[in-house]
A = this chain, B = another copy of it.
Amino acid sequence: METTKQQTEIEFRNYLKKMNSYRQAVGLLGWDSRTGAPKKGMIHRSEVIGTLSSELFQMSTSNEMANFLKELQQPEIFEGLSEVTKKSVEEMQKSYDKNMKIPKDEFKDFIVLRSKAENAWEEAKEKNDFSMFQPYLEKIVEFQKKFIGYRGYEGHPYNTLLDDYEPGVFVDTLDEVFGDLKEKLIPLVKGVTESKHQPKNDFLFAHFPKEKQRELSVAILKEIGFDFEAGRLDETVHPFAMGLNPGDVRVTTKYNESDFRVSLYGTIHEGGHALYEQNISEELVGTPLCGGTSMGIHESQSLFLEKFVGQNEKFLERNYSVIKKCSNGQFDDVTLEDFYFAVNEAKPSFIRIEADELTYCLHIILRYELEKALISGELEVKDLPDAWNDKMEEYLGIRPSHNGEGVLQDVHWSMGSFGYFPSYALGYIYAAQMKEEIIKDIPEYDELLLSGDNAKIRNWLTENVHKHGGMKKPAEIIKDITGGGINSEPLVNYLTEKYSRLYQL
């Protein structure tokens, strides 16, 4: 009997390993498609990815999976399982439920709609014409509502969507946390905008050759502790980081010769994601737990590195010489102070992905509020552009002149991704909470960045975040670090202190 139990656990883990092999293959195919696969092969590539992905989906909903889950969740068996297997069972049960509750035919229709909607969105964005996208978005919202109906919800229907990206985080928490944040940020942004003390920044846009930016990216990745024996750096149009397994984590970046910050901070940002993936405990390889535990926690790691390391004054002091060495001489007469102020410039802008750390969360809160209202039915799709523009004006003091720089700017909704945006702001909030705690454990934080001896900081992140992979949920990670819950105060304090100082408010 004992042996049979153990045997089932072994078979289940082997089944998960097999699924993981498929996931790695699909990952590599995706990485390759986005980094240098020949154009003419792409038509066949989608077929390959489609075949393996649908195989993976079938494995997650197969009778075999159902039997494993049923058997392993019998109380007397479950308690004897290893912790990793227990969490894996829970994870697979959750995705099983989700995948089984939505009728396959309807999900297929949704997939087809998505792909049409993405095309429609692209054209609509190009022509700044929301009406071209509106009917598709209406259908997508309808599908989302229907799916929530199938899946059920507690409290607010939007909670079910949040659960896909940030399990354990609900609307009532977000309303409170985002509400506080908004209240504090709006006057701070206003102060910065109106300040007479603004940075010089022309040197940021001087020609910086691509090859030299690549050199700088490699140097900085090494500086932050990215392991090049367990990863690589490539060029792409839309940068991303991808962990196939902890020994193979791939960072991509984009080189803009008229604005080197795109690659420098893009690389550090993706490098932060990569450090997470490289330092997940080896024992989780081959399970669904071998990855970031949520979108928000993942984003906290990329933002921690980008904001609290990459934009830190001491880090820049240490690395200014290598930045100068790689450049064309444009920084030779620029003081460190001016450089630091310039790369930390903050001002309201229309486009989220170009926003600075001060204004970024307001872009997200706006989207969160609109999504929630669409899902609850308080807002109709046709009224979305005006609602967007009104909020932009209220939060950032600027009003888009057309929908291309407003409601049409992001791809997410056309892909049916609702509930995803909040993770970006949560990442900021989590990162600031971590920063507040790390300073207590490592008071010499700034000195370590100045000396380049970053291992202690990285190890702190590994111990508290990275190594756990999916073994701890987001709220658990935050609780274990801070002793409390999600809280926007550390972020508010950090931004208030930093930008009051920089802009002499």
Contact = CB atoms under 8 A, between A and B. Distances in A.
A231 B38 contact: yes
B44 A245 contact: yes
A242 to B, nearest CB: 12
B42 A24 contact: no
Interface residues of A, number: 39
Interface centre among A42, A47, A228, A230 (most CB of B within 10 A): A47
Contacts of A246: 40
Nearest to A228: B38
A186 interface: no
A128 to B, nearest CB: 31
Interface in A203-257: 227-232, 244-250
Given A25-B52, A28-B29, A42 B247 contact: yes
A222 to B, nearest CB: 14
B40 A229 contact: yes
Given A228-B38, A244-B41, A47 B28 contact: no
A51 B50 CA distance: 18
Interface stretch (A15-23, A355-363, A396-404): A15-23
A45 B247 CA distance: 10
B248 A18 contact: no
Interface centre among A38, A39, A52 (most CB of B within 10 A): A38
A411 interface: no
A21 B54 CA distance: 12
Interface centre among A22, A44, A286 (most CB of B within 10 A): A44
A183 interface: no
Contacts of A229: 38-40
Contacts of A244: 41, 44
A495 interface: no
B37 A248 contact: yes
Contacts of A17: 47, 51
Contact of A25 (B42, B48, B232, B245): B48
B29 A25 contact: yes
A51 B55 CA distance: 13
A32 interface: yes
A248 B41 contact: yes
A22 B51 contact: yes
Contacts of A286: 44, 47
B232 A40 contact: no
B38 A28 contact: no
A38 B285 contact: no
A36 interface: yes
Given A38-B228, A38-B229, A40-B230, A21 B248 contact: no
Contacts of A51: 17-18, 21-22
3 A-B pairs with the lowest CB-CB distances in the bound complex, closest first: A41-B248, A40-B247, A41-B247
30 contacts: A17-B47, A17-B51, A18-B51, A21-B47, A22-B52, A24-B45, A25-B25, A25-B48, A28-B28, A28-B29, A32-B32, A36-B232, A38-B229, A38-B231, A38-B247, A38-B249, A38-B250, A39-B229, A39-B230, A40-B229, A40-B246, A40-B247, A41-B244, A41-B245, A41-B247, A41-B248, A42-B247, A43-B247, A44-B286, A45-B248
Given A28-B28, A36-B232, A41-B248, 12 more contacts: A21-B50, A21-B52, A24-B48, A38-B231, A38-B249, A39-B247, A40-B229, A41-B244, A43-B247, A44-B245, A44-B247, A44-B285
